[in-house]
């Protein structure tokens, strides 16, 4: 990129740690407005439907797994429903299981997307705002040309919704790394009425809190994903 130093993608848990590194960098002005239309706010033109009352601990139904750049991703009856886009499929139910699935799919795809894939992931799965703009600016300085090597992929174990409303959900995602250690990734998804879908809200770097923490065990009330 015009003389800039470029770092290569590392396997293992580096994909998830990449998000923590990028969102904690110093905020800078968005320089790729032409890359993503609507770099600011999204229009609110649709009337959202009333979501069903489902427990926060409800697991996804008809769970299945798909591969994306060396990572296994959960899909279920709660989403994604729009499967024509293999890079950034969307259409998740406005329910706790739908929010959990949306969070996992967005954060994993953002973490391991290749150079020619991440703009589409950002455009389709990430909520607009300064944190997204900062991510774009920093991501174009990196180079990821291959997926996670075999045997080095983190495994998503499950999630826990720490808060849920029809418009916003806080989702802790639990992951086992290749060395056996475990992490929790604190994520937030927001409902985008214009698209009728969840969008991952990247954390504010100015807040200072790390989105990823090391843990010794998963909580007993985690929504475990079978086959993980």
Please state the pTM of the whole predicted model: 0.79
Please give the pLDDT value at position 30.
33
Calpha distance 171→161 (Å, rounded): 5
Task: Report the DSSP pairing between strands 212-215 and 197-200.
Answer: unpaired
Least confident of 15-29, 70-84, 92-106: 15-29
Contact 224, 157 (CB under 8 A): yes
User: Residue 167's CB: how many other CB atoms inside 10 A?
Assistant: 14
Calpha distance 161→52 (Å, rounded): 16
Calpha distance 99→110 (Å, rounded): 16
Residues of the chain with pLDDT > 90: what percent?
Answer: 72
Contact 160, 170 (CB under 8 A): no
Contact 90, 80 (CB under 8 A): yes
Mean pLDDT of 207-219: 91
- Return the domain boundaries, the chain: 7-28+60-224
Least confident of 8-12, 49-53, 98-102, 215-219: 8-12
């Amino acid at each position: 990129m015009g003389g800039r130093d470029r770092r290569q993608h590392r396997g293992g848990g580096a994909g998830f740690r990449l998000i923590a590194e990028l969102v904690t960098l110093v905020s800078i002005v968005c320089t790729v407005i032409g890359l993503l239309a609507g770099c600011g706010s999204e229009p609110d033109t649709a009337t959202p439907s009333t979501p069903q009352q489902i427990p926060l601990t409800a697991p996804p139904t008809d769970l299945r797994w798909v591969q994306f750049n060396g990572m296994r991703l959960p899909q279920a009856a709660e989403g994604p429903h729009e499967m024509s886009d293999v890079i950034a499929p969307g259409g998740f139910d406005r329910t706790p299981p739908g929010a959990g699935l949306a969070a996992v799919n967005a954060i994993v795809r953002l973490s391991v997307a290749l150079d020619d894939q991440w703009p589409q992931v950002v455009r389709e799965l990430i909520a607009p705002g300064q944190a997204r703009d900062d991510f774009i600016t920093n991501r174009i300085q990196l180079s990821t040309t291959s997926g996670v090597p075999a045997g080095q992929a983190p495994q998503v174990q499950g999630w826990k919704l720490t808060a849920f409303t029809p418009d916003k959900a806080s989702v802790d995602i639990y992951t086992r790394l290749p060395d056996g250690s475990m992490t929790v990734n604190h994520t937030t998804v927001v409902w985008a009425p214009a698209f009728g879908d969840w969008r991952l809200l990247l954390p504010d770097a100015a807040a200072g809190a790390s989105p990823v923490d090391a843990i010794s065990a998963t909580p007993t009330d985690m929504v475990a994903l079978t086959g993980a």
